[in-house]
Amino acid sequence: MLFDTHVHLNAEQFSEDLNEVIDRARTEGVQNMVVVGFDRPTITRAMELIEEYDFMYASIGWHPVDAIDMRDEDLGWIEELAKHPKVVAIGEMGLDYYWDKSPKNVQQEVFRRQIQLAKKLKLPIVIHNREATADIVTILKEENAAEVGGIMHCFSGSVEVAKECVEMNFYISLGGPVTFKNAKKPKEVAQEIPLHKLLIETDCPYLAPHPYRGKRNEPSYVKLVAEQIAELKGISYEEVSQATTENAKILFGIK
């Protein structure tokens, strides 16, 4: 029983063999997944997928890299779509200072507006963070994001930052990097953060876990993430899979 909280099965990388990818995930025990849309095309496709597959849910928002392209009508469109009962979160949203397509001030404004929308809709948020930790934490505090909470997606920061986020009502989600031999921080986070505040994800088709690193990721590989966390915590795989699934269902309001 596994819950992959962050997949991009709406990506073109799955256009040729989506059904086979889904079958493999189901065979490995992936019970539910959240498909994440972050711009017009990927949100549209995410909405199609949740209609087609009863075990899929959607999170929809605007990616910080493309913040400069977001218009008022895009945010209004997201608000309307979010009324769908299977839209369980807003995002991914946040800040990305690695790519320079969107100026920092534009990213920050789009981030704040999405947090405000999520609070209006009473939905949790999914946070994308790349090289912007201090500003992310500041904005989450200033906007009182703890009111809705959410997910620090594919978390790569320190234990200290993880604990600060947990205090703000966020779950820490670990993906493929926790399985990388040289990934010191995610391993420390897996060990130190209580199981009741952890989630698992693939972020497929990106960030495939060892031994598939560098290849296309897919939801069936989330099992490797759960196994690694179990090993790091010195507990059973079953305990990790059950707890992270329950955590996801509580956060997303899924019965």
137-185 pLDDT, tens digit each: 999 999 999 999 999 999 999 999 999 999 999 999 999 999 999 999 9
Average pLDDT value for the chain: 98
Decide if pLDDT at 100 tops 90: no
62-79 pLDDT, tens digit each: 999 999 999 999 999 999
C-alpha to C-alpha distances, 26 to 19, 88, 103, 221, nearest whole angstrom:
11, 21, 41, 11
Q: Which two tokens stand for residue 105?
A: 């001030």
pTM listed for this prediction: 0.97
Decide if pLDDT at 105 tops 90: yes
Decide if pLDDT at 246 tops 90: yes
Q: Compute the distance between CA of residue 158 and CA of residue 151 in angstroms, rounded to an integer.
A: 15
pLDDT, mean of residues 119-129? 98
